[in-house]
Amino acid sequence: MTDFPKDPAPNGTVTKQLIEQLRRHPKRVVFTEGEDLRVLQAAARLVELEAVAPILLGNRERIRN
């Protein structure tokens, strides 16, 4: 899960502003494709950034593995 850059938006000030707003007021976000590897990677990165509290929908065993 290290495919994402450390800087959430190296060239995007709008994205940086959004991440900062989310950090100040974290939200729960529902990911309907919780078994998809790309979704899991994105959710993990957002947790790492302390931006959201993800809710992953899907088969619990597939999500955990």
Those residues of the chain that have pLDDT short of 50 are none
Joined together, the tokens standing for residue 59 give 């088969």
pLDDT at residue 5 in the model? 58
pLDDT at residue 39 in the model? 96
Report if pTM > 0.75: no
pLDDT at residue 26 in the model? 84
Tokens 């729960």 -> residue: 28
- The answer for residues whose C-beta is within 8 angstroms of residue 10's C-beta and 6 or more apart is none
Distance, in Å, from the CA atom of 38 to the CA atom of 40, rounded to the nearest integer, reads 5
Closest CA to 32 of 47, 18, 42: 42
